[in-house]
Structure 1
Amino acid sequence: MPKAPASTKLRPVTVAEAAAEEVRRKIMSGEYPEGFQLKQDALAADMGVSRIPIREALVQLEGEGLVRIVPHKGAVVSELSISEIAELFELRGLLEPRLLRMSVPRLTQADFAELDSIIAEYRRELEAQHLARWGELNTRLHDLLLSKAEQPRTMAIVDSLLQQTDRYTRLQLSLSAESIKQAEDEHQEMVRLCKAGDVRGASALLKRHIDHACEELKAFILSRRRLSA
Protein backbone atom coordinates (compact mmCIF):
# COMPACT_ATOMS: atom_id res chain seq x y z
CA MET A 1 0.00 0.00 0.00
CA PRO A 2 1.59 3.32 -1.03
CA LYS A 3 2.52 5.75 1.70
CA ALA A 4 0.55 8.93 2.00
CA PRO A 5 2.68 11.93 1.08
CA ALA A 6 4.15 13.77 4.03
CA SER A 7 2.22 16.89 4.88
CA THR A 8 3.90 20.25 4.40
CA LYS A 9 3.11 22.75 7.10
CA LEU A 10 2.98 26.29 5.80
CA ARG A 11 3.90 29.12 8.11
CA PRO A 12 0.97 31.55 8.40
CA VAL A 13 1.67 34.90 6.76
CA THR A 14 0.83 37.97 8.83
CA VAL A 15 -0.73 41.12 7.39
CA ALA A 16 2.60 42.91 7.90
CA GLU A 17 4.49 40.18 6.02
CA ALA A 18 1.98 40.29 3.16
CA ALA A 19 2.31 44.09 3.02
CA ALA A 20 6.11 43.82 3.04
CA GLU A 21 5.98 41.31 0.18
CA GLU A 22 3.78 43.63 -1.91
CA VAL A 23 5.98 46.69 -1.33
CA ARG A 24 9.10 44.57 -1.95
CA ARG A 25 7.63 43.36 -5.25
CA LYS A 26 6.93 46.93 -6.39
CA ILE A 27 10.43 48.08 -5.41
CA MET A 28 12.04 45.13 -7.21
CA SER A 29 9.95 45.74 -10.34
CA GLY A 30 10.82 49.44 -10.41
CA GLU A 31 7.23 50.55 -9.83
CA TYR A 32 8.57 52.29 -6.72
CA PRO A 33 11.83 53.89 -7.95
CA GLU A 34 14.82 54.94 -5.84
CA GLY A 35 13.99 57.91 -3.61
CA PHE A 36 10.22 57.28 -3.87
CA GLN A 37 8.42 58.30 -0.67
CA LEU A 38 6.40 55.46 0.83
CA LYS A 39 3.52 57.19 2.61
CA GLN A 40 1.94 54.97 5.25
CA ASP A 41 -1.58 56.38 4.80
CA ALA A 42 -1.51 55.86 1.03
CA LEU A 43 -0.08 52.34 1.32
CA ALA A 44 -2.65 51.41 3.98
CA ALA A 45 -5.54 52.70 1.84
CA ASP A 46 -4.19 50.99 -1.28
CA MET A 47 -3.91 47.62 0.51
CA GLY A 48 -7.03 47.97 2.61
CA VAL A 49 -5.24 47.58 5.95
CA SER A 50 -4.44 49.75 8.95
CA ARG A 51 -1.21 51.75 9.32
CA ILE A 52 0.18 49.38 11.99
CA PRO A 53 1.09 46.47 9.65
CA ILE A 54 2.35 48.99 7.08
CA ARG A 55 4.68 50.46 9.70
CA GLU A 56 5.91 46.96 10.60
CA ALA A 57 6.40 46.13 6.92
CA LEU A 58 8.50 49.25 6.33
CA VAL A 59 10.70 48.46 9.33
CA GLN A 60 11.22 44.94 7.93
CA LEU A 61 12.13 46.34 4.50
CA GLU A 62 14.53 48.79 6.14
CA GLY A 63 16.27 45.78 7.68
CA GLU A 64 16.59 44.30 4.17
CA GLY A 65 18.16 47.49 2.84
CA LEU A 66 15.31 48.25 0.45
CA VAL A 67 13.90 51.17 2.45
CA ARG A 68 15.39 54.02 4.48
CA ILE A 69 13.52 55.67 7.35
CA VAL A 70 14.35 59.38 7.09
CA PRO A 71 13.64 61.78 10.01
CA HIS A 72 10.76 64.20 9.25
CA LYS A 73 10.15 62.50 5.89
CA GLY A 74 9.29 58.88 6.66
CA ALA A 75 10.16 55.89 4.52
CA VAL A 76 11.75 56.22 1.10
CA VAL A 77 13.02 53.59 -1.34
CA SER A 78 16.77 53.21 -0.80
CA GLU A 79 19.17 54.58 -3.37
CA LEU A 80 21.61 51.82 -4.26
CA SER A 81 25.04 52.89 -5.45
CA ILE A 82 26.74 50.76 -8.11
CA SER A 83 30.08 52.47 -7.48
CA GLU A 84 29.80 51.80 -3.73
CA ILE A 85 28.92 48.15 -4.35
CA ALA A 86 31.86 47.75 -6.75
CA GLU A 87 34.34 49.31 -4.32
CA LEU A 88 33.17 47.49 -1.19
CA PHE A 89 32.94 44.06 -2.81
CA GLU A 90 36.25 44.50 -4.63
CA LEU A 91 37.96 45.20 -1.30
CA ARG A 92 36.31 42.15 0.23
CA GLY A 93 37.42 40.06 -2.74
CA LEU A 94 41.02 41.15 -2.15
CA LEU A 95 41.17 40.81 1.63
CA GLU A 96 38.93 37.89 2.59
CA PRO A 97 40.62 35.18 0.47
CA ARG A 98 44.00 36.35 1.82
CA LEU A 99 42.79 36.04 5.41
CA LEU A 100 41.14 32.69 4.70
CA ARG A 101 44.42 31.23 3.41
CA MET A 102 46.06 32.18 6.71
CA SER A 103 43.14 31.10 8.89
CA VAL A 104 42.27 27.65 7.50
CA PRO A 105 45.29 25.76 8.91
CA ARG A 106 44.45 27.04 12.41
CA LEU A 107 40.71 26.27 12.44
CA THR A 108 39.80 23.69 15.09
CA GLN A 109 37.16 20.98 15.34
CA ALA A 110 35.22 23.32 17.64
CA ASP A 111 35.34 26.01 14.93
CA PHE A 112 34.01 23.58 12.32
CA ALA A 113 31.23 22.47 14.66
CA GLU A 114 30.21 26.10 15.07
CA LEU A 115 30.38 26.67 11.31
CA ASP A 116 28.09 23.66 10.75
CA SER A 117 25.73 25.10 13.34
CA ILE A 118 25.67 28.49 11.60
CA ILE A 119 24.94 26.84 8.23
CA ALA A 120 22.09 24.82 9.77
CA GLU A 121 20.62 27.95 11.36
CA TYR A 122 21.08 29.85 8.09
CA ARG A 123 19.10 27.14 6.27
CA ARG A 124 16.27 27.33 8.81
CA GLU A 125 16.06 31.12 8.52
CA LEU A 126 16.07 30.91 4.71
CA GLU A 127 13.22 28.40 4.77
CA ALA A 128 11.30 30.64 7.17
CA GLN A 129 12.00 33.68 4.94
CA HIS A 130 13.48 35.63 7.86
CA LEU A 131 15.44 38.00 5.63
CA ALA A 132 16.58 40.20 8.51
CA ARG A 133 18.78 37.38 9.88
CA TRP A 134 20.46 36.42 6.61
CA GLY A 135 23.01 39.21 6.75
CA GLU A 136 23.79 38.55 10.41
CA LEU A 137 24.41 34.83 9.86
CA ASN A 138 26.40 35.51 6.68
CA THR A 139 28.66 37.86 8.65
CA ARG A 140 29.07 35.34 11.48
CA LEU A 141 30.11 32.61 9.04
CA HIS A 142 32.61 34.80 7.19
CA ASP A 143 34.00 36.15 10.48
CA LEU A 144 34.56 32.67 11.89
CA LEU A 145 36.19 31.36 8.72
CA LEU A 146 38.69 34.23 8.84
CA SER A 147 39.07 34.43 12.62
CA LYS A 148 42.31 32.45 12.97
CA ALA A 149 44.34 34.52 10.49
CA GLU A 150 45.93 36.48 13.36
CA GLN A 151 45.79 39.68 11.35
CA PRO A 152 43.82 42.01 13.66
CA ARG A 153 44.16 45.20 11.60
CA THR A 154 43.11 43.54 8.34
CA MET A 155 40.33 41.73 10.17
CA ALA A 156 39.04 45.05 11.53
CA ILE A 157 38.86 46.39 7.96
CA VAL A 158 37.02 43.26 6.79
CA ASP A 159 34.56 43.52 9.70
CA SER A 160 33.82 47.09 8.65
CA LEU A 161 33.34 46.00 5.03
CA LEU A 162 30.97 43.20 6.09
CA GLN A 163 28.91 45.73 8.06
CA GLN A 164 28.79 48.12 5.12
CA THR A 165 27.77 45.40 2.66
CA ASP A 166 25.19 43.84 4.99
CA ARG A 167 22.20 45.61 3.36
CA TYR A 168 23.48 44.64 -0.08
CA THR A 169 24.02 41.02 0.99
CA ARG A 170 20.43 40.73 2.22
CA LEU A 171 19.14 42.34 -0.97
CA GLN A 172 21.21 40.00 -3.16
CA LEU A 173 19.88 36.95 -1.30
CA SER A 174 16.30 38.16 -1.64
CA LEU A 175 16.50 38.53 -5.43
CA SER A 176 15.60 34.93 -6.27
CA ALA A 177 15.38 31.37 -4.98
CA GLU A 178 18.43 30.62 -7.15
CA SER A 179 20.48 33.26 -5.32
CA ILE A 180 19.54 31.73 -1.98
CA LYS A 181 20.37 28.20 -3.11
CA GLN A 182 23.69 29.23 -4.64
CA ALA A 183 24.77 31.12 -1.52
CA GLU A 184 23.82 28.18 0.70
CA ASP A 185 25.66 25.69 -1.54
CA GLU A 186 28.77 27.88 -1.70
CA HIS A 187 28.88 28.27 2.08
CA GLN A 188 28.63 24.52 2.57
CA GLU A 189 31.28 23.82 -0.06
CA MET A 190 33.61 26.44 1.42
CA VAL A 191 33.41 24.83 4.85
CA ARG A 192 33.93 21.38 3.30
CA LEU A 193 37.07 22.55 1.48
CA CYS A 194 38.39 24.13 4.67
CA LYS A 195 37.81 20.88 6.60
CA ALA A 196 39.70 19.00 3.88
CA GLY A 197 42.58 21.45 4.14
CA ASP A 198 42.14 22.62 0.55
CA VAL A 199 43.23 26.20 1.21
CA ARG A 200 43.60 27.15 -2.45
CA GLY A 201 40.20 25.74 -3.41
CA ALA A 202 38.43 27.41 -0.47
CA SER A 203 40.05 30.79 -1.18
CA ALA A 204 39.18 30.62 -4.89
CA LEU A 205 35.57 29.75 -4.07
CA LEU A 206 35.33 32.62 -1.56
CA LYS A 207 36.54 35.06 -4.25
CA ARG A 208 33.94 33.74 -6.73
CA HIS A 209 31.27 33.91 -4.01
CA ILE A 210 31.98 37.60 -3.39
CA ASP A 211 32.32 38.46 -7.10
CA HIS A 212 29.02 36.74 -7.93
CA ALA A 213 27.14 38.75 -5.27
CA CYS A 214 28.65 41.97 -6.63
CA GLU A 215 27.75 41.25 -10.26
CA GLU A 216 24.22 40.12 -9.42
CA LEU A 217 23.58 43.30 -7.44
CA LYS A 218 24.92 45.58 -10.16
CA ALA A 219 22.80 43.83 -12.79
CA PHE A 220 19.69 44.16 -10.60
CA ILE A 221 20.21 47.89 -10.01
CA LEU A 222 20.79 48.61 -13.71
CA SER A 223 17.68 46.60 -14.61
CA ARG A 224 15.54 48.42 -12.05
CA ARG A 225 16.75 51.82 -13.29
CA ARG A 226 15.90 50.90 -16.88
CA LEU A 227 12.40 49.92 -15.81
CA SER A 228 11.82 53.16 -13.91
CA ALA A 229 13.37 55.42 -16.60
Structure 2
Amino acid sequence: MSPPLKHRTLASAIVDRLRQEILAGSYPAGSQLRQDALAQAYEVSRIPVREALFQLEAEGFVRIVPHKGAIVSGLSLDEINDVFELRKLLEPRLLASSVPVLTAEDFDAVAGMEAAFEEAMTARDISRWGLLNADFHMALYARATQPRTLAIVAGLLQTSDRYTRLQLQHSSSIERARIEHNELIRLSRAGAMKEACRLLVDHIELVRRDLVAFLEERGKG
Protein backbone atom coordinates (compact mmCIF):
# COMPACT_ATOMS: atom_id res chain seq x y z
CA MET A 1 0.00 0.00 0.00
CA SER A 2 1.30 3.47 -0.86
CA PRO A 3 2.29 5.70 2.10
CA PRO A 4 -0.18 8.48 2.94
CA LEU A 5 0.14 11.77 1.10
CA LYS A 6 1.08 14.58 3.46
CA HIS A 7 2.49 17.61 1.63
CA ARG A 8 0.72 20.58 0.01
CA THR A 9 -2.73 19.82 -1.39
CA LEU A 10 -3.79 16.30 -2.21
CA ALA A 11 -4.01 17.07 -5.92
CA SER A 12 -0.47 18.49 -6.15
CA ALA A 13 0.89 15.60 -4.11
CA ILE A 14 -0.77 13.12 -6.48
CA VAL A 15 0.64 15.04 -9.47
CA ASP A 16 4.14 14.74 -8.04
CA ARG A 17 3.81 11.04 -7.34
CA LEU A 18 2.25 10.13 -10.68
CA ARG A 19 4.77 12.24 -12.59
CA GLN A 20 7.65 10.42 -10.91
CA GLU A 21 6.05 7.02 -11.53
CA ILE A 22 5.58 7.84 -15.23
CA LEU A 23 9.17 9.05 -15.47
CA ALA A 24 10.40 5.92 -13.72
CA GLY A 25 8.51 3.74 -16.20
CA SER A 26 6.01 2.35 -13.70
CA TYR A 27 3.32 3.50 -16.12
CA PRO A 28 4.63 2.99 -19.69
CA ALA A 29 3.30 4.96 -22.66
CA GLY A 30 -0.24 3.83 -23.47
CA SER A 31 -1.08 2.82 -19.90
CA GLN A 32 -4.55 3.77 -18.73
CA LEU A 33 -4.69 5.65 -15.42
CA ARG A 34 -8.04 4.81 -13.84
CA GLN A 35 -9.36 7.39 -11.41
CA ASP A 36 -11.07 4.87 -9.15
CA ALA A 37 -8.00 2.63 -8.89
CA LEU A 38 -5.71 5.58 -8.16
CA ALA A 39 -8.13 6.97 -5.58
CA GLN A 40 -8.19 3.61 -3.83
CA ALA A 41 -4.39 3.24 -3.96
CA TYR A 42 -3.81 6.73 -2.52
CA GLU A 43 -6.75 6.48 -0.10
CA VAL A 44 -8.37 9.68 -1.35
CA SER A 45 -11.56 10.62 -3.18
CA ARG A 46 -11.67 10.78 -6.98
CA ILE A 47 -11.79 14.60 -6.97
CA PRO A 48 -8.07 15.27 -6.28
CA VAL A 49 -7.14 12.41 -8.61
CA ARG A 50 -9.17 14.00 -11.41
CA GLU A 51 -7.53 17.38 -10.76
CA ALA A 52 -4.10 15.75 -10.81
CA LEU A 53 -4.78 14.06 -14.13
CA PHE A 54 -5.86 17.35 -15.70
CA GLN A 55 -2.61 18.92 -14.48
CA LEU A 56 -0.58 16.05 -15.92
CA GLU A 57 -2.41 16.52 -19.22
CA ALA A 58 -1.38 20.20 -19.22
CA GLU A 59 2.23 19.09 -18.66
CA GLY A 60 2.04 16.60 -21.53
CA PHE A 61 2.39 13.44 -19.45
CA VAL A 62 -1.09 12.10 -20.16
CA ARG A 63 -3.88 12.50 -22.70
CA ILE A 64 -7.52 12.61 -21.62
CA VAL A 65 -9.34 10.45 -24.17
CA PRO A 66 -13.17 10.37 -24.35
CA HIS A 67 -14.60 7.07 -23.02
CA LYS A 68 -11.11 5.90 -22.01
CA GLY A 69 -9.91 8.43 -19.48
CA ALA A 70 -6.27 9.31 -18.90
CA ILE A 71 -3.68 7.58 -21.08
CA VAL A 72 0.07 7.99 -20.51
CA SER A 73 1.50 9.90 -23.46
CA GLY A 74 4.16 8.41 -25.69
CA LEU A 75 7.43 10.09 -26.58
CA SER A 76 6.62 12.68 -29.22
CA LEU A 77 8.90 14.04 -31.93
CA ASP A 78 6.69 17.12 -32.26
CA GLU A 79 6.86 17.74 -28.51
CA ILE A 80 10.65 17.39 -28.49
CA ASN A 81 11.03 19.94 -31.26
CA ASP A 82 8.54 22.31 -29.66
CA VAL A 83 9.96 22.11 -26.13
CA PHE A 84 13.60 22.37 -27.10
CA GLU A 85 13.05 25.18 -29.61
CA LEU A 86 11.27 27.14 -26.88
CA ARG A 87 14.13 26.45 -24.49
CA LYS A 88 16.63 27.76 -27.05
CA LEU A 89 14.65 30.99 -27.32
CA LEU A 90 13.98 31.61 -23.64
CA GLU A 91 16.90 30.24 -21.64
CA PRO A 92 19.64 32.48 -23.11
CA ARG A 93 17.45 35.47 -22.23
CA LEU A 94 17.27 34.31 -18.62
CA LEU A 95 20.98 33.53 -18.50
CA ALA A 96 21.93 36.99 -19.80
CA SER A 97 19.67 38.62 -17.21
CA SER A 98 20.74 36.49 -14.25
CA VAL A 99 24.49 35.91 -14.56
CA PRO A 100 25.67 39.54 -14.17
CA VAL A 101 24.07 39.70 -10.73
CA LEU A 102 24.89 36.21 -9.48
CA THR A 103 26.98 36.33 -6.30
CA ALA A 104 29.95 34.15 -5.40
CA GLU A 105 27.60 32.18 -3.16
CA ASP A 106 25.20 31.74 -6.08
CA PHE A 107 27.98 30.32 -8.24
CA ASP A 108 29.02 28.00 -5.43
CA ALA A 109 25.43 26.74 -5.32
CA VAL A 110 25.43 26.21 -9.10
CA ALA A 111 28.69 24.27 -8.86
CA GLY A 112 27.22 22.18 -6.04
CA MET A 113 24.22 21.28 -8.14
CA GLU A 114 26.47 20.30 -11.03
CA ALA A 115 28.49 18.11 -8.66
CA ALA A 116 25.27 16.41 -7.50
CA PHE A 117 24.27 15.92 -11.15
CA GLU A 118 27.62 14.29 -11.95
CA GLU A 119 27.40 12.10 -8.85
CA ALA A 120 23.95 10.87 -9.89
CA MET A 121 25.21 10.14 -13.41
CA THR A 122 28.21 8.21 -12.08
CA ALA A 123 25.90 6.20 -9.83
CA ARG A 124 23.48 5.64 -12.75
CA ASP A 125 20.73 7.09 -10.55
CA ILE A 126 18.44 7.69 -13.51
CA SER A 127 15.52 8.85 -11.38
CA ARG A 128 17.45 12.01 -10.38
CA TRP A 129 19.02 13.00 -13.71
CA GLY A 130 16.24 15.17 -15.08
CA LEU A 131 15.51 16.88 -11.76
CA LEU A 132 19.17 17.69 -11.06
CA ASN A 133 19.68 18.91 -14.62
CA ALA A 134 16.69 21.24 -14.20
CA ASP A 135 18.00 22.42 -10.82
CA PHE A 136 21.37 23.26 -12.41
CA HIS A 137 19.80 25.32 -15.18
CA MET A 138 17.33 27.10 -12.91
CA ALA A 139 20.12 28.00 -10.47
CA LEU A 140 21.91 29.81 -13.28
CA TYR A 141 18.73 31.73 -14.08
CA ALA A 142 17.72 32.36 -10.46
CA ARG A 143 18.33 36.14 -10.44
CA ALA A 144 16.71 36.84 -13.81
CA THR A 145 14.11 39.60 -13.66
CA GLN A 146 11.58 37.85 -15.93
CA PRO A 147 9.35 35.88 -13.52
CA ARG A 148 6.89 34.79 -16.20
CA THR A 149 9.67 33.49 -18.42
CA LEU A 150 11.19 31.70 -15.42
CA ALA A 151 7.88 29.96 -14.76
CA ILE A 152 7.57 28.91 -18.41
CA VAL A 153 11.13 27.56 -18.51
CA ALA A 154 10.61 25.68 -15.24
CA GLY A 155 7.65 23.94 -16.89
CA LEU A 156 9.64 23.19 -20.04
CA LEU A 157 12.45 21.66 -17.99
CA GLN A 158 9.91 19.55 -16.16
CA THR A 159 8.53 18.31 -19.46
CA SER A 160 12.09 17.70 -20.66
CA ASP A 161 12.74 15.38 -17.70
CA ARG A 162 11.60 12.16 -19.39
CA TYR A 163 13.55 13.06 -22.53
CA THR A 164 16.69 14.05 -20.60
CA ARG A 165 16.73 10.68 -18.86
CA LEU A 166 16.45 8.96 -22.22
CA GLN A 167 19.21 11.04 -23.84
CA LEU A 168 21.63 10.52 -20.95
CA GLN A 169 21.47 6.75 -21.24
CA HIS A 170 24.49 6.97 -23.55
CA SER A 171 27.92 7.40 -21.96
CA SER A 172 28.98 9.89 -24.65
CA SER A 173 25.99 12.09 -23.79
CA ILE A 174 26.83 11.94 -20.08
CA GLU A 175 30.41 13.06 -20.66
CA ARG A 176 29.34 15.82 -23.05
CA ALA A 177 26.76 17.10 -20.56
CA ARG A 178 29.41 17.21 -17.84
CA ILE A 179 31.87 19.11 -20.04
CA GLU A 180 29.27 21.58 -21.31
CA HIS A 181 27.83 22.29 -17.86
CA ASN A 182 31.26 23.04 -16.43
CA GLU A 183 32.18 25.22 -19.41
CA LEU A 184 28.91 27.09 -18.96
CA ILE A 185 29.84 27.76 -15.34
CA ARG A 186 33.33 28.92 -16.35
CA LEU A 187 32.08 31.31 -19.03
CA SER A 188 29.38 32.68 -16.73
CA ARG A 189 31.85 33.28 -13.91
CA ALA A 190 34.11 35.11 -16.39
CA GLY A 191 31.23 37.29 -17.57
CA ALA A 192 31.61 36.07 -21.15
CA MET A 193 27.91 36.36 -21.84
CA LYS A 194 27.90 36.05 -25.63
CA GLU A 195 29.97 32.87 -25.45
CA ALA A 196 27.90 31.50 -22.56
CA CYS A 197 24.60 32.12 -24.36
CA ARG A 198 25.96 30.59 -27.56
CA LEU A 199 27.11 27.50 -25.65
CA LEU A 200 23.73 27.22 -23.94
CA VAL A 201 21.90 27.24 -27.28
CA ASP A 202 24.30 24.64 -28.68
CA HIS A 203 23.90 22.52 -25.54
CA ILE A 204 20.11 22.48 -25.83
CA GLU A 205 20.24 21.85 -29.60
CA LEU A 206 22.57 18.87 -29.25
CA VAL A 207 20.20 17.25 -26.77
CA ARG A 208 17.32 17.83 -29.21
CA ARG A 209 19.28 16.24 -32.05
CA ASP A 210 20.18 13.22 -29.92
CA LEU A 211 16.55 12.66 -29.02
CA VAL A 212 15.27 13.11 -32.57
CA ALA A 213 17.88 10.63 -33.84
CA PHE A 214 16.91 8.15 -31.11
CA LEU A 215 13.19 8.30 -31.90
CA GLU A 216 13.76 8.12 -35.64
CA GLU A 217 16.02 5.10 -35.21
CA ARG A 218 13.52 3.42 -32.91
CA GLY A 219 10.80 4.07 -35.49
CA LYS A 220 12.79 2.08 -38.05
CA GLY A 221 13.00 -0.94 -35.75
Normalising by the residue count of structure 2, what TM-score does the alignment of the two structures yield?
A: 0.70
Return the offset for 1:78.
6.2
Runs of 4+ displaced beyond 3 Å = 59-62
Contact 1:172 1:213 (C-alpha < 8 Å) held by counterparts: yes
Structure 1 residues without counterparts, runs of 5 or longer? 1-58
State how many pairs are aligned. Answer: 166
Structure 2 residues without counterparts, runs of 5 or longer? 1-18, 38-70
Identical amino acids, percent of aligned pairs = 44
Partner of 1:180: 174
RMSD (Å) for aligned C-alpha atoms:
2.2
Partner of 2:32: 70
Measure the CA separation in 1 of the matches of 2:181 and 2:154.
Answer: 18
Match of 2:129 among 112, 134, 143: 134
Return the offset for 1:70.
3.0
- Which segment is superposed worse, 59-68 or 145-154? 59-68
Measure the CA separation in 1 of the matches of 2:125 and 2:133.
Answer: 13
Return the offset for 1:63.
2.5
- Counterpart AA for 2:163: Y
Contact 2:131 2:158 (C-alpha < 8 Å) held by counterparts: no
Measure the CA separation in 1 of the matches of 2:133 and 2:139.
Answer: 10
Measure the CA separation in 2 of the matches of 1:226 and 1:189.
Answer: 35
Q: Provide Cα deviations, 1:95-126, integer angstroms capped at 9, x if missing partner.
A: 00111011110111011111111111111111
Partner of 1:50: none
Distance 1:147 1:60, change over 3 A: closer
Match of 1:191 among 185, 190, 213: 185
- Counterpart AA for 1:208: D
Measure the CA separation in 1 of the matches of 2:78 and 2:109.
Answer: 35
Q: Provide Cα deviations, 1:77-110, integer angstroms capped at 9, x if missing partner.
A: 9621101100010000000011101111011101
Normalising by the residue count of structure 1, what TM-score does the alignment of the two structures yield?
A: 0.67
1:148 aligned counterpart, secondary structure:
coil
Contact 1:125 1:134 (C-alpha < 8 Å) held by counterparts: yes
Return the offset for 1:67.
2.8
The structure whose RCO (Cα within 8 Å, separation 6+) is larger is: 1
Which protein shows a greater Rg?
1
